[in-house]
Structure 1
Amino acid sequence: MKSKQEHWDEIFSAKQDTELGWYEDDLSQTLNLLNNIAISASSTLFLAGAGTSKLVDELLKTKAKLLVNDISAKALEQLSQRLDTSQCQYLHHDLSQSFDESFAVDVWIDRAVLHFLLTEEQITHYFDNLKNTVKCGGYVLLAEFSSTGATHCAGLTVHRYSTDEMQKRLGDKFELIESNEYVFVNPFQQEMPYIYALFKRTI
């Protein structure tokens, strides 16, 4: 059986960006929510699963420090070659397991990573990592398949989310700022219902 890294490495090795089912040409849904946050050169942003997304290119314009994470070493290799910048630090964490290092971030951004974690243990590790990483006053942007969304993606089963479940798992230290249901149309013209939610850590 393939490991999770092998699964994603094979996908990023075999396909061009525009052939990926999650490829986004229009990043406005994410960027509009991030406009609620005062991001500056002194900010640190964490991308939970950067892949080869053009979102990284957009975030570089903020001058913030980017911690760019992915479980796929192949995706990180392609991304680092494309960007060629010292503004990014590349991390290779499986977010379903506890971090073996500590760092603090102002914004945690996850588009379509969390929903691939299926067991309660995996999901708990993810949220523990998040809570141990996001500063007081920091933000969390989660964008996952909604309760009416797809049940599978990239050959894998997914866990669908509601804002209520996100809030329950984050706990009372996090306050919902804004949430939106959003239908993402992928490169194959398939409609994929998502839930986007922005939270602030208040304690």
Structure 2
Amino acid sequence: MTDSLKSHWEGRYSDNADSALSWTESDPFISREWVTNSTSPDQHIVDIGAGRSKLLGQLLDAGFTQLTHVELTEAASNDMRATLGEKSALVNWYVGDAKCWRTDLPVQVWHDRAVFHFLTKPNDRKAYIAAVDVNLAANGTVIIATFHLTGPQKCSGLPVQQYDAQALLETFNSLSQWDWRLDDELVHQHLTPGGNSQIFQYAKLTRL
């Protein structure tokens, strides 16, 4: 992770309200439903590139007790702590590169909406999946959302790698030390706060 890339994302969050950020969801209902249907409230869930997403706050309200917010930027992490207020003490916080994050508490659900598709270099994808391998519990779940093959080719001025569900499964099976199964998939049209359409590919992968 280069300093310039970190500065890019710090600037995006520091200089813009959520209404000016294309990835903002008024309600992360797909992620919430998939997470809550995948595990019990006492299991460890990590949100990768969590930013200022409402997901962890909604999971707290639903009674989930083992939540981790992983985010590259200080700006988004600090904003999210302020939004949650006293509830922020119930969340584990990590500011830094998700590829470098490690935990002693095995993760049952690894959630990532719109981080993995920025990893356009093979070595970065390999390092990311190595982090999944180390942190995910046996039979754990990865819920991942990237731009679909028909989605944008760039986001925030940066190139992305587009996927369909089969390509995500093949990528994990080729780079992971574990075998993976595709348990669910969804192509979703996200409407940005500005009213533009972005086609996302959601996939639910289970470690075998």
TM-score normalised according to structure 2 size: 0.89
Pairwise CA distance, 1:29: 1.8
Q: In structure 1, what is the Cα distance between the partners aligned to 2:66 and 2:90?
A: 6
**Change over 3 Å in CA distance of 1:170–1:87 after alignment to 2:** same
1:30-55 per-position Cα deviation (integer Å, ceiling 9, x unaligned): 22322431321x21111111101111
CA contact (8 A) 1:181 1:193 kept: yes
Report runs of 4+ in structure 1 exceeding 6 Å deviation: none
CA contact (8 A) 1:140 1:198 kept: yes
Aligned positions, number:
200
- Paired position in structure 2 for 1:186: 192
1:110-136 per-position Cα deviation (integer Å, ceiling 9, x unaligned): 000001111101111011111111101
- Paired position in structure 1 for 2:92: 89
More helix, by proportion: 2
- Paired position in structure 1 for 2:202: 196
Pairwise CA distance, 1:163: 1.2
CA contact (8 A) 2:102 2:134 kept: no
- Paired position in structure 2 for 1:3: 4
- Paired position in structure 2 for 1:52: 52
TM-score normalised according to structure 1 size: 0.92
Pairwise CA distance, 1:165: 1.8
SS where residue 7 of structure 2 aligns?
Answer: helix
- Paired position in structure 1 for 2:110: 108
Pairwise CA distance, 1:100: 6.0
CA contact (8 A) 1:70 1:76 kept: yes
CA contact (8 A) 1:39 1:64 kept: no
Q: In structure 2, what is the Cα distance between the partners aligned to 1:138 and 1:2?
A: 32
- Residue ranges of structure 2 left out of the alignment (5+ in a row): none
CA contact (8 A) 2:102 2:131 kept: no
CA contact (8 A) 2:27 2:54 kept: no
Check if 1:146 corresponds to 2:148: yes
1:165-186 per-position Cα deviation (integer Å, ceiling 9, x unaligned): 2111222622111101111111
- Residue ranges of structure 1 left out of the alignment (5+ in a row): none
Q: In structure 2, what is the Cα distance between the partners aligned to 1:101 and 1:56?
A: 18
- Paired position in structure 2 for 1:30: 31
Check if 1:19 corresponds to 2:25: no
**Change over 3 Å in CA distance of 1:101–1:56 after alignment to 2:** closer
SS where residue 27 of structure 2 aligns?
Answer: coil
Could you tell me which amino acid in structure 2 is paired with residue 60 of structure 1?
L
Q: In structure 2, what is the Cα distance between the partners aligned to 1:158 and 1:122?
A: 13
Percent identical: 25
SS where residue 143 of structure 1 aligns?
Answer: strand
CA contact (8 A) 1:127 1:169 kept: no
Q: In structure 2, what is the Cα distance between the partners aligned to 1:132 and 1:94?
A: 15
**Change over 3 Å in CA distance of 1:102–1:165 after alignment to 2:** farther
Could you tell me which amino acid in structure 2 is paired with residue 161 of structure 1?
Y
Could you tell me which amino acid in structure 2 is paired with residue 83 of structure 1?
L
